[in-house]
Structure 1
């Protein structure tokens, strides 16, 4: 009789023994598989003692301890968690490197214009260093994959991931800051372009304004005169007066004059004035030039000689088309220029402006006129005023035309006046500080006089 003994060193042997017992119980005696007697059912093998009535225990001395297996290798869930942390750390470091490259590239672009070689070099070095670090990260990861050692490292992996995410956020903030600076630079560039376009437009409008009087005053006839012709000539005269007043201010500054004292003296005939801004002092010099050059304007002969309406018009046409040198050869105009220059330009001014030259002596002698920039500017202004005077009396008798100015302290009126500075909200109740340029009445048309409004404190003192 054959006794079946299980192989205790093999689980497979144990399973084969169990299979034989099951087949025996199902089919009884089997032939060709070995001799089996009833003693098998009576005298059971020792390995089956624990099989009937209860499952085999893992603590059986013939089987390995399952707890020991669990201690030797980590659970599958824990292994997956470690692998996931490793991948998250890898991705965090990867995105941190990409963010650093992006920030450095943005810095590289900004440094191109305006060109900054030091910033370009440092940004380029950072880009190269970050690319090398990413390459090392890739090789390190693949080396762990090939060796089968990609595993978590506990809290150190989580710390590395947080550090990498923090570095990524820092690089993103740096990129945003560089982008903001770039946008600000572009905004400044756009503002400069807008300013240049505005200046070009203003220059075009000024050029158009200069051409407009030429067009309006071309081909005039006495019978076709109207108020628009006088307005065109008046604008030319006022622009030339302001230009010459600007020359006086610039030469005073170069000569070291006290502009505050000079401005106060220029309008002293109209009383003491308080300036809203220091740059408003220029209006005092413009007022002084206008008061001098327009003195005697209401007389038909300008105090120098008379003529009729037709003669005034013919002289206006001839002098307007002539050059300045040709106009100075006309006796009446030359006498007008000489008289006004000697009154307007004080000897002390003349000496400081010309550097002690003899320009004033040449003018006062009547032998000629200096060809200096200052005197040429004065002569051109005088010609514009002379032409305005000739055109003014070409319209008819004195009853149809007059010149006027505003008295100091009188209430501002929009019908007769125009402020040379932006008026305040209560400009209707403002008081006149002084007249900058006179106004005119031609038939039923009023041409505003230019005024400088008194400062608010000055108005309160005067009770306005």
Structure 2
């Protein structure tokens, strides 16, 4: 019994071509004996057989190149499908995120279904790659995959655009809310400032008699005057910043060669300028006002105390409207024209209307001038109260470079003492850079002036602070 032979393995295409070529070569050699001298001579039959072998080899080579091209095209189609599915997964995830905030049940469900479908598609692509199951028409498959990927990318960007639009709307609503809160805070601050600056805050002096005056009453009015000045300084700084002023240059022009411990301390220089202008000629009964006669010396105290009581219970704007030619009205005109430079007024308000109104004897109705008038009222009241004392209160300020003294000075920058103690590299001491608020003397009572201190090495012999009458 003959044994069963196993099936022969089908040779590859290259092996088949080599086998055919070998058979043809054997045929050419069968029945032909070699002859000496004619070994290198080829008959027509030999040439024909060699041509057949070349044709078989060319056919095999072209078959291999075509097969390799189809395989590469199929792999490109598979990769295109893979990337298209990944883009779809990304679009589905973006849609899922967008539908969650705010929550949309239908959008979440649709995104979830799309996401599951694309994950299944990725699994099928993996199986196709493992089993070598490629598309019969890779060109069409590539175009479809590119179209699908483009659609997914457009969908993703559309979702991102909607998300950004919602975020912009949210930010806009937050901005509106914060603006409302800011306006509310500004109104509250203005209301508090008005309550602090209004005449009713001096109600404790309503029943005051000239015989009962003491330095405590003067200190009360002085504190409110300083508070009103600082409120006006903040207003000036805000207006200067809004008008694009260089605050640093303005501060350097007021007080030169001063090193400030903090950036916020530069406002003290502007406060010093305002106090210097407003308290100028404070020691004179008529404040050096032009064409203003002096009261009778015998009735000087009574006249100034009467002016104090007349103005302390009324708003400055109302008083100016009732008595536009009073000494206080002249005081407001002179001080405004000296304090507010024309360039400043023009840059802040765009014109010189307020200055022009004052020059014609009228008073502006702007909130800026109202704030100035309230501050001027406080200075005027302090001046009236100073001349109601016997002897009258005197004003003083400290020269630049004076050694700090607890008797005559109060520092507005206490940090200078801490830095002096911690800095052990050089021997230094605090000295006056400039006077912020002047000091006063009522008899033997000294009301300290407020100064800004700087640090310097001692170069001269120590001396007591010298005072000069303003």
TM-score, normalising length: structure 1: 0.52
Looking at structure 2, the residues matched to 364 and 461 of structure 1 have their Cα atoms a distance apart, in angstroms, of 49
Task: Please give the per-residue CA displacement for 1:293-342, whole angstroms capped at 9, x wherever unaligned.
Answer: 00000112211342211000001001111222332225111111101111
Counting only pairs closer than 5 Å after superposition, residues 39-438 of structure 1 correspond to structure 2 as 214-267=202-255, 271-304=256-289, 305=292, 306-307=294-295, 308-328=300-320, 329=323, 331-366=326-361, 368-398=362-392, 401-423=393-415, 424-425=417-418, 426=420, 429-438=429-438
SS in structure 2 opposite 1:452?
Answer: strand
SS in structure 2 opposite 1:430?
Answer: strand
**Cα gap change, 1:360 to 1:215, in 2 (>3 Å):** closer
Looking at structure 1, the residues matched to 250 and 446 of structure 2 have their Cα atoms a distance apart, in angstroms, of 32
Conserved? CA contact 2:251–2:270, under 8 Å = yes
Deviation at residue 217 of structure 1 after TM alignment: 1.6
Looking at structure 1, the residues matched to 437 and 373 of structure 2 have their Cα atoms a distance apart, in angstroms, of 19
Conserved? CA contact 2:197–2:374, under 8 Å = no
Task: Please give the per-residue CA displacement for 1:186-207, whole angstroms capped at 9, x wherever unaligned.
Answer: xxxxxxxxxxxxxx9xx99x98
Backbone CA RMSD of aligned residues: 3.2
TM-score, normalising length: structure 2: 0.51
Looking at structure 2, the residues matched to 358 and 212 of structure 1 have their Cα atoms a distance apart, in angstroms, of 31
Conserved? CA contact 1:309–1:395, under 8 Å = yes
Deviation at residue 374 of structure 1 after TM alignment: 1.1
Q: 1:8 maps to what in 2?
A: none
- May I ask how many residue pairs the two structures share in their alignment? 262
Task: Please give the per-residue CA displacement for 1:117-170, whole angstroms capped at 9, x wherever unaligned.
Answer: 86999xxxxxxxxxxxxxxxxxxxxxxxxxxxxxxxxxxxxxxxxxxxxxxxxx
Deviation at residue 380 of structure 1 after TM alignment: 0.7
**Cα gap change, 1:212 to 1:421, in 2 (>3 Å):** farther
**Cα gap change, 1:364 to 1:461, in 2 (>3 Å):** farther
Conserved? CA contact 1:409–1:462, under 8 Å = no
SS in structure 1 opposite 2:318?
Answer: helix
Conserved? CA contact 2:433–2:451, under 8 Å = yes
Looking at structure 1, the residues matched to 317 and 196 of structure 2 have their Cα atoms a distance apart, in angstroms, of 26
Looking at structure 2, the residues matched to 215 and 377 of structure 1 have their Cα atoms a distance apart, in angstroms, of 20
SS in structure 1 opposite 2:271?
Answer: helix
SS in structure 1 opposite 2:457?
Answer: helix
Q: 1:460 maps to what in 2?
A: 457
**Cα gap change, 1:372 to 1:462, in 2 (>3 Å):** farther
Looking at structure 1, the residues matched to 405 and 267 of structure 2 have their Cα atoms a distance apart, in angstroms, of 23
Structure whose alpha-carbon radius of gyration is higher: 1
Q: 1:126 maps to what in 2?
A: none
Q: 2:12 maps to what in 1?
A: none
Task: Please give the per-residue CA displacement for 1:398-433, whole angstroms capped at 9, x wherever unaligned.
Answer: 4xx211111111001111111112242458941011
Deviation at residue 216 of structure 1 after TM alignment: 3.0
Conserved? CA contact 2:278–2:376, under 8 Å = yes
Deviation at residue 397 of structure 1 after TM alignment: 3.4
Looking at structure 2, the residues matched to 300 and 226 of structure 1 have their Cα atoms a distance apart, in angstroms, of 20
**Cα gap change, 1:280 to 1:262, in 2 (>3 Å):** same
Looking at structure 1, the residues matched to 313 and 208 of structure 2 have their Cα atoms a distance apart, in angstroms, of 12
Looking at structure 2, the residues matched to 346 and 418 of structure 1 have their Cα atoms a distance apart, in angstroms, of 30
Deviation at residue 275 of structure 1 after TM alignment: 1.4
Conserved? CA contact 1:434–1:452, under 8 Å = yes
Deviation at residue 218 of structure 1 after TM alignment: 2.1
